[in-house]
Amino acid sequence: MAITGQYREEALRLREEVKKKFNTQVALCKAIGTSDATYLSAYVSGKNRIGNILRERLEAVGIDVGYVLYGKRGFSPVPAGPDPEVMAKLHECTEKLRALQNTVIDLQKELLDINRMLEDITSKLNPAFTTTPAG
C-alpha cells in the first residue's frame, strides 16, 4: 500500500514498528482486538494520525507510539495521569454538584406549583384578574 497521506513519516515509522513487533498488520489487528484487518489502513498510508483510543491499544501491545508520532524512542508528550487523590476529590465534587442540581430542579418544580396555586387563589378571589398563558 502506498503512502499517500500527509502523515508520511508517521506512517513509515508505524510500518516499521508493526514489522518489528508483529510482522504483519493482520497480526497487530488481532492483538489490539480488531477483527477488521483494514482497521490500520488509514494510519499506515499516512491519511490519519493516531488518536488517543488507538494510541492506548497500540501501547498496550508494546508499540512505541511516541516513536511513531514524534520519531523519538520512549518519548511521550502526554503527561502522567492525574493524582488519584485529586481525582477522588474531583469525583466527590462532581457528585455534590449533581445532588445540588437535582435539589435546584426540585425547588423549581415546587416554585411552579406554588405559582399555580397562587394564580388559582387569585382567580377565585378576583375573577377579572386572571392570567392566561401566552401561546
CB 37 within 8 A of CB 63: no
Q: What is the pLDDT of residue 16?
A: 93
For the segment 29-59, what is each residue's pLDDT rounded down to a tens digit? 889 888 777 888 889 999 999 888 888 899 8
* pLDDT level of residue 3 (50, 70, 90 thresholds): confident
Rounded mean pLDDT, 11-21 = 92
Q: Which domains does the chain have, with CATH numbers?
A: 8-70 (1.10.260.40), 80-135 (no CATH)
Rounded to whole angstroms, how far apart are CA atoms 58 and 67?
Answer: 12
The per-residue pLDDT for range 59-72, each reduced to its tens digit, is 899 999 889 998 88
Q: Is the dihedral of CA 17, 45, 59, 50 positive or negative?
A: positive
> What grid cell was written down for 102?
437535582
How many whole angstroms separate alpha carbon 70 and alpha carbon 85? 32
Q: What's the gap between Cα 40 and its chain centre?
A: 21
